[in-house]
Amino acid sequence: MGNQEPTLPAWHVLENSFEIVQQQCESCAMLLALPDNIYELIRNPMRELQVSIPVKMDNGKIKVFKGFRVQYNDVLGPTKGGIRFHPDETIDTIRALAAWMTWKCSLLELPLGGAKGGVICNPSELSQGELERLSRGYVERIWNFIGPDRDIPAPDVYTNPQIMAWMMDEYSRIAGKNQFGVITGKPLYIGGSVGRNTATARGGIYIIVEAAKTAGMDLHQSTLAIQGYGNAGFHLAYLANDIFGCNVVAVSDQRGGIYNKKGLDPTAVFEHKRRNGSVVDYPGAENITNSELLTLNVDILCPSALENVINKHNAGMIKAKIIAELANGPTTPEADAILFDRGIQVLPDFLCNAGGVTVSYFEMIQNFNMLYWEEGEVFERLRKKMAYAYHSVLNASEKYHVDMRKAAYSVAVQRIADAMVLRGWV
């Protein structure tokens, strides 16, 4: 192992995420023998909005940014989904993420549909004032497309509670009254929920705990590698190590990774990254590449960063017994088939990372009731939701003799199909 990328196949392939979603929908429709009318509805977004957002920059010039909002399906209730600020954002990525959010809400039995939004921009190149004007400008362009009973955005890649606060305030200004419930992921002082900042990781841990029980795996004797050491990756490492005694032996970011078979201190590694911009060169650990991390001999592998990192090129080299997808879409359909044949259990993204939207739903409930829960109540409600969803998927996997992703699709899509029939849509 070393600093240079080894002669391994590419660890990240560029594929159209929405085409993958449609492949997954087709496979699910065949499994459930869905009528053609239902299949046509579930494979296409219901509504899309593309907007131009003029922003006055600090130099006095106007710059126009492109933004999106996709509401994929609202048969179960108002749509819900994050907003991304990213320089490489595309409408197809937003469509795919909105679809996954639809399945996620259905799988967790939340009375919500799925949506996603995005703006093509590089937040690191914007001043605080420019970022605020862009955030408010985005809401000004989509405000009549969203609302507490229509579509409720949340933070996602390169957005945060402060941006959510600006967006909520702008919507409230336009509506002429406080509307805390229009946005989730807000700061605590203005309607946020305790536990939201760790919810995605905590939900993932609850799924891993249930999967370990099923596999007869003792987490205190297990090893874990995490690709992607951002907010979710760090909190997963911390919770796995601190609460469940799991030995975190490798983590990585976009510059590379580190490995120590004796284990890493998650908090110390995160502090090293904060100071140096990367986990690379952490004292007492060996530098490795992202390719090498994915194929380490560990019990649990957690891809927490990019799409399509586990693909047909490297799926045959994966050694982990369990893959817990904290990222969206990290495994391609070709890789799923290879991993299933090899007996490796993949805990699919829209099950494993559903903790974030679940606690966002809790935040909505608290906003509507103007009554806020203590942290312990939030976590216990989340644990019950995640455990129930896991066993629903496991039962479907055993019933249909399919992998956990196809099983998760079958549970989520069947609920949506049933709701469409009951509402007379088909």
Write down the pLDDT at residue 21.
87
Q: List where CATH 3.40.50.10860 sits in the chain.
A: 45-182
Nearest to 344 by CA among 320, 312, 308, 310: 320
Extract the tokens encoding 404.
């956990």
Task: Please give the Cα distance from 137 to 128 (Å, whole number).
Answer: 14
Q: Which amino acid is at 147?
A: G
Per-residue pLDDT tens for 277-316?
A: 999 999 999 999 999 999 999 999 999 988 889 999 999 9
Q: List where CATH 3.40.50.720 sits in the chain.
A: 199-352
User: How many beta carbons lie within 10 A of that of residue 230, not counting itself?
Assistant: 17
> What dotted CATH number matches 45-182?
3.40.50.10860
Q: Could you tell me the CATH superfamily of domain 199-352?
A: NAD(P)-binding Rossmann-like Domain (3.40.50.720)
Q: In what order do the strands lie in the sheet with 300-303?
A: 286-288, 256-259, 247-253, 223-227, 300-303, 322-324, 345-347
Per-residue pLDDT tens for 103-128?
A: 999 999 999 999 999 999 999 999 99
Q: Which residue has the tokens 């479907």?
A: 396
Q: Which amino acid is at 15?
A: E
Q: Do residues 256 and 3 lie in contact, with contact meaning Cβ atoms separated by under 8 Å? A: yes
Give strand ranges (E) for 280-416: 286-288, 300-303, 322-324, 345-347
Write down the pLDDT at residue 392.
97
Q: Do residues 174 and 102 lie in contact, with contact meaning Cβ atoms separated by under 8 Å? A: no
Per-residue pLDDT tens for 55-71?
A: 999 999 999 999 999 99
Is 119 strand, coil or helix? strand
| Residue 166 Cα distances to 133, 160, 231, 326, angstroms | 9, 10, 21, 27
Q: Do residues 89 and 120 lie in contact, with contact meaning Cβ atoms separated by under 8 Å? A: yes
Q: Which residue has the tokens 């959010």?
A: 101
| Residue 129 Cα distances to 125, 136, 137, angstroms | 12, 11, 12
Per-residue pLDDT tens for 393-410?
A: 999 999 999 999 999 999
Extract the tokens encoding 66.
């492109």
Write down the pLDDT at residue 9.
38
Extract the tokens encoding 147.
């609302």
Per-residue pLDDT tens for 4-24?
A: 333 333 444 556 888 888 888
User: Residue 301: phi, psi to the nearest 5?
Assistant: -115, 130
Write down the pLDDT at residue 308.
86
**Which residues on neighbouring strands pair with residue 85, listed in sequence order?**
119
Task: Please give the Cα distance from 209 to 93 (Å, whole number).
Answer: 30
Extract the tokens encoding 381.
């409600």
Residues in the chain: 426
0.95 surpassed by pTM: no
Q: Which residues are catalytic?
A: 116
Write down the pLDDT at residue 14.
55
Rounded to the nearest integer, the mean pLDDT of the chain is 93
Residue 339 CB partners (closer than 8 Å, separation 6+) = 310, 315, 318, 323, 331, 346, 403
Q: Is the pLDDT of residue 173 over 50?
A: yes
